[in-house]
Amino acid sequence: MNMWVLTILGLSALIAIDFFIGRKPHDVSIKEAGTWSVVWIVLAALFGLGLLFFGNSQASGEFFAGFITEKSLSVDNLFVFVLIMAKFSVPSHLQQRVLLIGVLIALVLRAIFIAAGAAIVASFAWVFYIFGAFLIYTAWKLIQEARSDEEEDEFEENRLLKSIEKKFGVADKYHDTKLFIRVNGKRVLTPLMVVMLAIGTTDVLFALDSIPAIFGLTQDPYIVFTANAFALMGLRQLYFLIGGLLKKLVHLSYGLSVILGFIGVKLVLHALHESGVHVPEISIPFSLAVICGVLVITTITSLIASKKQAEREAAEQTAEKAGIDA
C-alpha cells in the first residue's frame, strides 16, 4: 500500500509539473516536444531500473515489456487523435491543453479498467483464454484493415459523446481555455470540452486491446498501471513530435498485429499451463526481444516504403509536368 501511495503521489507531482509548464496555451515546437518526450522516456527507464534495483529482474523486465507495448499501441492511437483534432477544428495553440486533459481522463478510466481486470484475472484463470483469443482476433483484424485500400478519414463520435452534447448543448465557437459558458442563461459546453471528452473516451476503447495485451505480459496490477501511466503521460508530446511522421509508418499496423498475435499466443499457452497442460511458456526476456525486434523492423520497412512511394510520386509529377510543357 505504501508503494501504491508513493507512486500515485509521484505521478500526480509529475502531472502537476507538466500541467504547470503547459498551462499557457501555445503552439508546441518540435524542440519542446522532443525535449519532453525524452524526459518522459528517461523517467520511465529510471522507474524500470528502480524496479530492478529495489525489486527483481522479473518485475523490471515485465515493466519494460509492458511499457514498450503500450507505447507502440499509443502511437497507433495518435492517428485517431489527428482525426479528432481535424473533426473539431481545434486551434493549434489549444491542442496541447486538449491532449493533457484528455490523457488524464483516459488515465483515470484505464485505472478502473485495470482494477477490474486484475480482479477478474485473480479469480478466474480461464479468462486468459478469452484475452488470448481476443488479441489473436484483433491481430487478424488489424492485418485485414492494413491490407484494405480504404482509409479512415473522418472521426465518428461515439454514443456517449453524442448524448452529452445533446443534454448540455455546445457553443458554436471556442472560448480560449473555457470549458463551459452561458448562452441565454443556460450553461453549455464549449467545443474544447467536447474534444477533451472525445480524446478521453476514445482512448478507453483502445484500452480494450491494450489492457489484455499487457496482462499477457504481467499479472501484477502495479506494473500494469505504471506501464500504462508512463506510456500515456508522454503521449501529448509524442503527438507533436511525430505528428508529421505518422503517415510514414505505413507498416505499423502489421507490426502491431504481430505483437498482439504473439501476446495472444503467450496468453493461451499460459492458460493451458494454469490448467495443468504441459506446454512451454514464453519468458519475459524473449517477449521483450520479440516486441523490440518487430518494432525496429516495422519502422525500418515503413520508412523505406514511404521513401519509395515519395520517389514514385515525384517521378509521376515530373512526367506529368513534362507532358503539360510539351
SS3 sequence of 201-255: HHHHHHHHHHHHHHHCCCCCHHHHHHHHHHHHHCHHHHHHHHHHHHHHCCCHHHH
> What's the mean pLDDT in 25-42?
80
Residue 46: per-residue pLDDT: 94
Question: What letters, b where the CB count within 10 A reaches 16 and e where it falls short, cover 209-238?
Answer: bbbbbbbbbbbbbbbbbbbbbbbbbbbbbb
The pLDDT of 191-217, averaged and rounded, is 78
Give the per-residue pLDDT at 81.
Answer: 78
67-109, pLDDT tens digit by residue? 998 888 777 677 777 778 877 888 878 887 788 777 787 788 7
pLDDT of the residue at 147: 74
**H or E element at residue 277:** none
Mean pLDDT across the stretch 219-240? 85
Average pLDDT score over residue span 15-24 = 72
Predicted pLDDT of residue 246: 64
Q: What is the pLDDT of residue 183?
A: 80
Which has the higher per-residue pLDDT, 89 or 43? 43
Cα gap 223→110, rounded to integer Å: 13
- Residue whose C-alpha cell is 498551462: 23
Instruction: Tell me how far apart the alpha carbons of residues 64 and 226 are, in angstroms, rounded to a whole number.
Output: 10
Mean pLDDT, residues 255-276? 84
Q: Does residue 63 have a pLDDT over 90?
A: yes
What are the φ/ψ torsions at residue 189 (nearest 5 degrees)? Answer: -75, 150
Greater pLDDT, 224 or 250? 224
Least confident of 43-47, 106-110, 116-120, 149-153: 149-153
Contacts of 236 (CB under 8 A, 6+ apart): 18, 22, 96, 99, 100, 103
- pLDDT beyond 90 at 49: yes
Give percent of the chain with pLDDT exceeding 70. Answer: 89
Per-residue pLDDT at 47: 93
Q: Provide the residue type at 174 as one letter.
A: Y
- At 111 the pLDDT is 82
What percent of the chain shows pLDDT beyond 90? 6
- Which pLDDT band, with edges at 50, 70 and 90, does 297 fall under? very high
Q: Which cell numbers hold the place of 274? A: 494454469
Average pLDDT, the chain: 81
Q: What is the mean pLDDT of residues 262-290?
A: 83
pLDDT beyond 90 at 203: no
For the chain, the straight-line distance linking the first and the last C-alpha, in angstroms and rounded, comes to 77
| pTM listed for this prediction | 0.74
Q: Would you say residue 16 has pLDDT above 70?
A: yes
Do residues 190 and 196 make contact, with C-beta atoms less than 8 angstroms apart?
no
Q: Residue 307 in contact with residue 279, Cβ under 8 Å?
A: no
